[in-house]
Structure 1
Amino acid sequence: MLFRVDQDSPASLAEQIAVQVRAAIASEEMVPGERLPPARELATSLRVNMHTVLRAYQQLRDEGLIEMRQGRGAFVRNDASTVLVRVNELATQLVDEARKLGLSPGDVHARIDRLMSGIA
């Protein structure tokens, strides 16, 4: 997989890297169990700080898309899928909108619980 970053983009460099990994998982260009490039190598090839790559990897880990194994690198999780990528995107949109509207996390959780259990 070829990574690219745009220094002039309003999106952070870490977010640009994370977006590319998400897209590769969603398109099945990257498959479960596949190893991501080592952070140091990717940082060198992109001419960015290694911590920028690590920030992107941490974000993807927090989203449940990759796992980081001590001393072995970062890998696409076995349960990562197009569905998970899409749900993460939608959840992010929901959280952003809920914050704009001033809703509490409890309100959002309660609504989701009602919808998931079939109670509108």
Structure 2
Amino acid sequence: MASAYYSAVLKNLPNAKHVFDRFHIVKLMLAIAYYLKEDLGQIWQQPNKTIAGRFLKDWCARARASGIKVLQTMANTLEGHRTGILNWYDFPIPRHAWTRMPCCDNGRGARPLIRPRGHLLP
């Protein structure tokens, strides 16, 4: 699927039937999705809100150009939440503040804080 290889085949084998197998098509789509996913995390690494806004706009354009419907939908969702995403630069919340909520400690999760016999958990 590399353009150089495909051009060489067209030039040297003009009457050949060209077949693209599923593996290489899926591999290409997964590579595009993976690199866009990795790149998306860079929004929060930008030096300021203005540059982050440009980065987000560029990311959404690349996601739309990918031709992958899920990424195109994601781009629409991100642009719909653009203000909230970029507001992080005005109110940066450290990652540890939202990843370790007290309700989730000790495996309690959303379960009630009452034991079967009615005793409160410590």
- Structure with more contact order per residue of length (Cα contacts < 8 Å, sep ≥ 6): 1
Q: TM-score, normalised by structure 1?
A: 0.37
Q: Which structure shows the bigger proportion of residues in strand conformation?
A: 1
Q: Which structure shows the bigger proportion of residues in helix conformation?
A: 2
Q: TM-score, normalised by structure 2?
A: 0.36
